Structures are given as structure tokens and as C-alpha cells.
Amino acid sequence: MWLLGPANSGKSVIAQVLAEHWDDKGILLATFFFSQHDPGRNHALPLFATIAYQVATNFLDSWNAITRVLELNPLVLKQRPEFQLTSLIIGPLQRLYQATGRRTGSSDPYLIIIDGLDQCARSDAQIDILNSISKALKECQFPLKFFITSRPEPHIVTEINSETIKPILGSLSLDEFHPGYDM
């Protein structure tokens, strides 16, 4: 799901409320909140490493599988987003899911929230992230969903509407939302 809207329309608040709600239900695996003013959160490099850490701590069955990937290839943290997502998150979750032969304990899929994609410093990195998620979800058998928020930047809108992403993505626009408007 992609939540888009202009600056100050409440996207981050919605992402935070959803994170708290789904965390209470045991469905939230991880969150990442981009921030253009925070050098630790304004680029793509820490995204999937941070998510992998949270997955490992929130879904304890995955801890050994994720740490094993890091032991075998510590340079995975310097690789492209697609490789990081597949190696650190999707691969371990999928192997665990297949090995246990069981559902995840919930009829709902697990959730990863990425807020403020447009706050990632480079537009090509934003596109890499979207394509990485799209490709991973098409191949993943583990019940997993992503909730992504951003401003409707032209390059993001173009990518979201591409033939590779649009079929697997729902969207919700806050364009008609007017902050401060009291009904």
C-alpha cells in the first residue's frame, strides 16, 4: 500500500498510528522513518539493515537465519537494496516459513512500514527501493505486506504506475486533505 500526500498532510502520523496498532496485534515486523535532516535516516544504506534487525528481534524465529546471512557475508550491508532485502529479510523469512510448514499464527500478513520514501536523499535510490520491494513481493511466499508513505514526487508516481509495480500496489491519496481545516 502506498499512502501519498503533500507535506504536512499527516502521512507520518498515520504511519505511526498504524505501527502502534499492528504492533499491539503482533503483526508489525519493522518500521523505517526516513528524515531528510537526519544523516542516519536520509539515505538508502541503513534501510534494509535496520528492517532486518527489527525483523530478527520482533520475529525471534528469524534471528538465527538473519545472523547466519551476516556471518557468511558481512558485506551484504554494503550491497544494493534489492540484494539486502532478498538476503537479509525475504530469504530468511521464506526459508523459515517453508521449513516450519506452518502458518505464522495469524491470518493477517506481517507488515513492514516505510515512511517518507521521498525523504531518501537520492531519487534513484527511491526507485531502487520500490523496485526491490516489488520484485521481492512477487517472489515471496511468506505472508508479508509493505506500507509506504511519500509525497507524490513525479519520479515516484511514474515508478508506482509502472507495469511492474502497479499490479501489486494499492494506493491512498491525501491530496484532498487540508490540514487545519475543521469540519
Task: For residue 180, tell me if it sits in a domain.
Answer: no
Task: For residue 54, tell me if it sits in a domain.
Answer: yes
Dmax (CA) of the chain: 57
**Among the listed residues 107, 109, 93, the one whose alpha carbon sits nearest the alpha carbon of residue 168:** 109
- Condensed to tens digits (0 to 9), the pLDDT of residues 64-79 reads 999 999 999 999 999 9
For 41, the grid coordinates are: 535516516
Which range marks the domain in which residue 104 is found?
2-173
Task: Give residue 91's pLDDT.
Answer: 92
**Among the listed residues 5, 60, 34, 22, the one whose alpha carbon sits nearest the alpha carbon of residue 120:** 34
Task: For residue 181, tell me if it sits in a domain.
Answer: no
Answer whether 146's CB lies under 8 Å from 1's CB.
yes
How high does pLDDT run on average in the chain? 89
Task: For residue 179, tell me if it sits in a domain.
Answer: no
Of the pLDDT bands very low, low, confident and very high (cuts 50, 70, 90), residue 58 is confident
Which CATH number does the domain housing residue 39 bear? 3.40.50
> Number of structural domains, the chain?
1
From CA 158, how far away is CA 10, in angstroms rounded? 23
Q: Assess whether pLDDT exceeds 80 at residue 144.
A: yes
From CA 46, how far away is CA 102, in angstroms rounded? 31
